[in-house]
Amino acid sequence: MKYLLHRVFRRRFPLPPALFLALMGLPAFSPLRADVRLPAIFGDHMVLQRNIGVPVWGWADPGETVTVKAGTDRAAATAGPDGKWSLTLARLAAFAQPIEVTIAGKNSITLRDVLVGDVWLCSGQSNMEAGAIAFLSKEDLAQACHPQIRLFTVPLWVAPSPADDIAPASEKHPLMGKWQVCTPETVAADGPWLGFPAVAFFFGRDIHQFTHQPVGLIVSSKGATRIASWTSLKTLASIPERAGEIQWVMKYRDDYNRLKQTYETVTLPQWKAALEKWNQENKAAIEAYPAELTKWERLAKEAAAQNQPAPVKPVAPDAPKPPANPLNNSQRACALFNGMIAPLAPYGIKGVVWYQGEANVGEPVIYRTELPALIRDWRTYWGQGDFPFLLVQLANYMARKPEPGESNWAAIRETQLKALDLPNTGLAVAIDIGDAANIHPFDKADVSSRLALAARHAAYGDQDVVYSGPIYKRFAAEGDKIRITFDNTGGGLTIGRPPDYFFVSRNQTVPDAASELRGFAIAGADHQFVRAKASIEGNSIVVAADAVRAPVAVRYAWADNPDCNLYNKEGLPASPFRTDDFPLGKAALFNKSEPVLAPFHASHPSSAK
């Protein structure tokens, strides 16, 4: 009975380690001794950010002097009355050879195999979370040995207020919460959702190939999460549309201990009692079910051989489901910022890669405020200036519609495009490499290579690289036509198609480029958009439609899953855009439940590029 109870409880209701410790009456993060200690982000195999003053912090006895030595650099600090200490090491030059970092007070800690290079924080929802093992063939996995690329995956923690440290890793995923060297074993270790994330893996590989320096990747992500979950309370409180939600955030914070106690002492015992009673009352059915299922499988196989319908499949006894955990809702505003972002700051980073937005498709207008607010929020919280912030624009998804119309997906993409108005930002456009049937498109390699191009410009000052596809600049009416001009035209505008790998990954033949531009719509004063013809004239596009004699606006790729093909000659797609600022019409709301990631197998072609 105890075994069944434990099995059902663990399978259906996994608790975060921090909450598990709390329910057991144990401190999650409080030191049992007053030794010098560090937050979990500091550890063996870590990568320290080059060319900045490196922040190091931790805890010790109040008044204790702590000395940190990294390579030849040394700095000291004194713990305050609360036991916290912090210091900044001198700027460290990139160094591919491992060094040791020693932290000494009354006790001493030595961190080994530490590299100095570039550290990127990779965050967002499931398309950031999805593991590389789901996108790599066996051959690619065998070659995934990159000793100068290191990964740190932050365990999930829904926290009521900004935490000092991350949650400990669960027993099932012991590689989380500590730095890992990129090897075939670590890439595959935690499976398709908690292993080495695909976007981070490909991005880190591309950045390493460009810089020839060590790369550290800190991944803090959770599928199906809204941007509000990743935003601090202070910043969220400045967004008028979230005023009502702020009250719930503060109530959750203030009631956290009571909710935990009620859950532990009332709700869980009631469920356990109900489960035990159910086990007793259904003992015969539980014991009989395996034999019934085996019999059904035999009869179903015999029926299939005779082209007969299978008998009715027996229904497995269904135990009472565990109660909803009021402390583990990752959709809570500020909660993931508190538990999975705040504990990381101010660890030195080169920049951020952000892949999120699907969960906010139902609220595109608020997202206009929330996305730039989050970028400013994290930059302020880190205190490291306007570090580079790279975004993946949402890929094409869902059924293709025959006529122009409103699209919440397009509205979210517009906000992601407008984030380029902020300093040191970059955008990877993915409008051509999505999947109508899967919100988690397979082609993560090309997404990451476009992110790496954006990084070369925004983070590394590469002025020669063509880092983006065409970006809308301005429009001008010319009689019955509208002329559109662009930035980032590279070698020139052209009709293009997705990269070869997009088709190879689907076992499809790479097609020839189309002969005419697609994806443009035009409207007159009535704001009714119709499909339009478009032609390339130098570095501009001329758009017209017979049905619109006096056009006032043009839209490009303004749909959930547009049919569009404007590129520059470097093969980078143009971002969707609109020239108008018409109020957004009513669009179909997105179902916020995310589809399960389709399984991938080693039979898929290589993702090496």
Distances (CA, A) of 256 to 253, 266, 332: 5, 15, 13
Amino acid at 398: M
User: d(Cα 175, Cα 7) in Å, to the nearest integer?
Assistant: 23
Question: What domains, with CATH codes, occur in the chain?
Answer: 115-245+330-458 (3.40.50.1110), 471-578 (no CATH)
Token pair of 459, please?
Answer: 């983070």
**Residue 437 vs residues 51, 343, 395, 398, 430: alpha-carbon distances, Å:** 44, 37, 12, 6, 15
Residue 67 DSSP SS3: strand
Give the helix ranges, DSSP H, for 459-549: 500-504
Sequence-ordered list of residues with C-beta below 8 angstroms from that of 534, at least 6 positions apart, any chain: 517, 520, 541, 542, 543, 544, 566
Which residues of 174-214 form beta strands (DSSP E)? 179-182
- The Cα-based distances of 525 to 252, 360, 404 in angstroms read 49, 31, 16
User: Which pLDDT belongs to residue 33?
Assistant: 53
* Beta carbons within 8 Å of 235's beta carbon, 6+ residues apart: 373, 374, 376, 377
Chain centroid to Cα 334, Å, comes to: 16
Strand partners, 177: none
Residue 494 is encoded by which pair of tokens?
């052209």
Does residue 522 contact residue 551 with C-beta atoms inside 8 Å?
yes
Give phi and psi for 376, each to the nearest 5.
-65, -40
pLDDT at 215: 98
Residue type present at position 116: V
The whole-model pTM stands at 0.89
How far apart CA 192 and CA 140 sit, in angstroms, is: 15
The three-point CA angle 451-452-455 to 5° equals 90
Nearest to 541 by CA among 568, 507, 505: 568
The answer to whether the CB of 256 falls within 8 A of the CB of 327 is yes
pLDDT at site 188: 87
Q: Which residue positions in the chain have pLDDT lower than 70? A: 1-33, 586-609
Strand 84-89 versus strand 146-153 pairing type: unpaired
The total of other beta-carbon atoms located within 10 Å of residue 427's CB is 24
Separation between Cα atoms, residue 604 and residue 598, nearest integer Å: 13
Give me the pLDDT at residue 136, please: 86
Rounded distance between C-alpha atoms, residue 200 and residue 445, angstroms: 10
Axis-axis angle for helices 2-12, 268-281 (nearest 10): 120
Nearest CA among 237, 225, 226, 233 for reference residue 253: 233
Tokens of 217: 């990747």
Specify whether the CB–CB gap between 539 and 489 falls below 8 A: yes
Distances (CA, A) of 214 to 46, 145, 178, 203, 597: 10, 13, 17, 13, 31
The pLDDT value given to residue 171: 85
**Of the candidates 493, 597, 491, which has an alpha carbon nearest to the alpha carbon of residue 542?**
493
Task: Judge contact between 488 and 559, C-beta under 8 A.
Answer: no
SS3 142: helix
Distance CA 25, CA 338 (A): 22
Write the single-letter amino acid at 493: L
